[in-house]
Structure 1
């Protein structure tokens, strides 16, 4: 058949196989002859999916009673055994044949940054984590080469110990300039986010999904902040009154000092992408049709300014895309314990802290976020908005009289009832969104040496 079909026809056939993700047939076709191999090879990397975060249910924690909803996890026993092998195979392919990079149009990738040799068992776990291999250190070179990628789904779920490697944060300044459909998930460093958003053309961005993004935090010298350092120095900012006149956001002046290494960046929900898209100098979002923002569940040990800032920044982003938005999805992760009464054997002190400290904080957070977004929706026309989805605000309906008074829910309910979007959304407080993801508080490292920073943390 090879001599009968013209090269143009064969290319169309191979592209069809690639579009339908029939890589088995595509690979077999490449084995038919040298001509077929040369013609089929460009179609092979057209749609690349070497990820572990889109596989549906995975065994995250071996406690199904407490963690019934399972999410993608970085640990070696929870992801496909061949994931890193497949990632390295793709890296090797583009290193050896860099011309193929221009044929990559869609890329789904889970950043792991961990060296797994073969399929390891429990008895081999101690020697499985061996740092980065030489091929792993070509990742950024390869990521910089596919300039025609239109669809990018990038997750950062790597282990808490490996990010000490400097290479993890040495990403190129320009990444994926052709992207029009973008999804980012997990916790990552600002340098990677900055490179992506400064490279893409915001006027051509059609779809944006920011799913449970967390800022890993960093010291002024660029080192990732450890959970121990965060725990010691962030209490100063843990007791803000969300949504009130006394609440605070990360000011432009503090943002500037963070960017120039004159301030600490505390771990928490990442507002940075919204900031990059809504600054006065940012390009208009003139093509953005689909926006999805999922915020990790709030945590009472996290700097409350981060929540206030991401709530405010999300509303700004919604406002900026008002002329073109067709679908809007807003999700706030909920703690499952807000639905659980005190169980037998549960510590009374823990239960009382939950009732009198944690739940009021969850109520204030949900009310503040919903208030920001509803004000943004009511301030503009949104002529093309067809689908509106809200999840994770059920605690507003369930709040006790005391919690409702503390959170000033009367004002929130006035916003809800007066909103012209209430019927289209099917109610803003009806759909739960229980989130079992671990709250990221910093990398797994003990007390860090902060000599030389003086009292910088106090002004951060």
Structure 2
């Protein structure tokens, strides 16, 4: 029987290009022969998704033990991920080390930084191995990635390598999405490397500054709780948040950086020429009365400033506030709470969320009302129900009237957005849960200076 003639390489390349959107089929085709694998591998690597943070809600992890946090999201913690994720990530890293010439073929890259594998039954973590310590080397080679979706959900506060990323990462990015808690060093490396004039889409979903000690090391949770600055501003509508003086001192490593919403990429990007940006997405975790509110206020300011600086090109804006499940408790929830909890929710937390949400709207809508947006056609606002149903904790406060006036005057929204439910059980990141001896903790406290 005569042998079947081989297909020309140029024909195979056309076939594999058509299969680029079907990775399972493409992988099976590559297993037919060594020559087919060689030709198909670049197309298989065009879209690399080794992430776990985009699986949405995970009902299989929900139950009565999670009350009142009844909803579990895959982008909340490294605990909720497929057990195969870390082995697959390590296999990709090894391939890039063995075949570095393949790195240029990766155009779309989705990755969840978790670093360790976890046993789902006893929560035991494996140790980072040799290939893990080459992650930044591999990331540094991915110079052709245009679509980056990077999440950081790890709870490892003791491994120095995690914060030793290179200064240049993903320089070709045009569509950027950052999720979870990250160090300023990692975010700065990504944002400083890309060409802002070519950036088309910027999405910051629950992006939080993980905080740092003056020496650059990650800040432990115990120290955050012991020394946090959770002051309630005298005038939340005009407060400057993180002052320029405090920002400069943080940049020089003179004072600590506390965890909270990360406004750094917004500030870095708006200071550069953005001539192609068409979409901005900012999603915030529920407000926390355990956090430094200056980070929240600065995020409001930087979001509004970003929108103003991009008014000539923006086509769509999406702003989402997380609503803690206990922000709108049911009667059943209230019956199950002690009197102190009910008082804290009604007397402290709800008024705080009202003022913060109203303040955010005031700053954002002022820009939308004042500036000329030639291409903006869609503004989605979600999670602002408290503005309709709540009230300020201040004895006399007529600022709400002005917020509603901004809403009514805005050409891009109507009042309906204040009715949209956005129950969210993500908790604000408050430092790494690592054991610090009391004596060492006291020494750290003396080194943490706040203005």
With the shorter chain as reference, the TM-score category is over 0.9
Aligned pair 1:189/2:183, yes or no? yes
Q: CA RMSD in A?
A: 2.3
- Match for residue 114 of structure 2? 112
Give CA-to-partner distance per residue, 1:120-166, whole Å, 9 cap, x none: 452x54xx31331111111111101010101000011112xx23100
Supply the distance in 2 between the matched residues of 1:34 and 1:304 (Cα, whole angstroms).
58
Supply the distance in 2 between the matched residues of 1:33 and 1:346 (Cα, whole angstroms).
64
- Match for residue 411 of structure 2? 420
> Structure 1 259/359 Cα, relative in aligned 2: closer, same or farther at 3 Å?
same
What runs of 5+ residues in structure 1 fail to find an aligned partner?
none
* TM-score normalized with structure 1 length: 0.90
> Structure 1 341/457 Cα, relative in aligned 2: closer, same or farther at 3 Å?
same
Aligned pair 1:443/2:432, yes or no? yes
> Structure 1 76/402 Cα, relative in aligned 2: closer, same or farther at 3 Å?
closer
Aligned pair 1:295/2:284, yes or no? yes
How far did residue 349 of structure 1 move?
1.6
- After superposition, residues 60-459 of structure 1 pair within 5 angstroms as 60=61, 62-63=63-64, 66-72=68-74, 78-116=80-118, 120=119, 122=121, 124-125=122-123, 128-159=124-155, 162-235=156-229, 237-241=230-234, 243-245=236-238, 247-279=239-271, 283-342=272-331, 343-400=334-391, 405-406=396-397, 408-423=399-414, 427-447=416-436, 449=440, 457-459=448-450
Paired residues of 2:42 and 2:102 also in contact (CA < 8 A): yes
Supply the distance in 2 between the matched residues of 1:339 and 1:157 (Cα, whole angstroms).
27
- Match for residue 57 of structure 2? 57
How far did residue 26 of structure 1 move?
1.6
Paired residues of 2:68 and 2:326 also in contact (CA < 8 A): no
Matched residue pairs, number?
Answer: 443
Supply the distance in 1 between the matched residues of 2:160 and 2:7 (Cα, whole angstroms).
51
Supply the distance in 1 between the matched residues of 2:70 and 2:359 (Cα, whole angstroms).
28
Give CA-to-partner distance per residue, 1:151-193, whole Å, 9 cap, x none: 000011112xx23100000011100000101110101111100
Give CA-to-partner distance per residue, 1:30-85, whole Å, 9 cap, x none: 22223212111211211000100111222455436533332016767631110001
Supply the distance in 2 between the matched residues of 1:404 and 1:196 (Cα, whole angstroms).
45
Supply the distance in 2 between the matched residues of 1:428 and 1:324 (Cα, whole angstroms).
24
How far did residue 353 of structure 1 move?
1.7
SS of the counterpart of 2:266? helix
State which drifts further: 286-295 or 60-69: 60-69
Paired residues of 2:261 and 2:284 also in contact (CA < 8 A): yes
Supply the distance in 2 between the matched residues of 1:383 and 1:335 (Cα, whole angstroms).
36
> Structure 1 121/366 Cα, relative in aligned 2: closer, same or farther at 3 Å?
closer
Paired residues of 2:236 and 2:359 also in contact (CA < 8 A): yes
How far did residue 456 of structure 1 move?
5.2
Paired residues of 2:377 and 2:412 also in contact (CA < 8 A): no
Supply the distance in 1 between the matched residues of 2:103 and 2:423 (Cα, whole angstroms).
39
Supply the distance in 2 between the matched residues of 1:2 and 1:206 (Cα, whole angstroms).
48
Supply the distance in 1 between the matched residues of 2:128 and 2:363 (Cα, whole angstroms).
43
Paired residues of 2:69 and 2:325 also in contact (CA < 8 A): no
How far did residue 285 of structure 1 move?
1.2
What runs of 5+ residues in structure 2 fail to find an aligned partner?
none
- Match for residue 34 of structure 2? 34
SS of the counterpart of 1:422? coil
Supply the distance in 2 between the matched residues of 1:221 and 1:434 (Cα, whole angstroms).
37
Supply the distance in 2 between the matched residues of 1:407 and 1:364 (Cα, whole angstroms).
12
- Match for residue 48 of structure 1? 48
SS of the counterpart of 1:164? coil
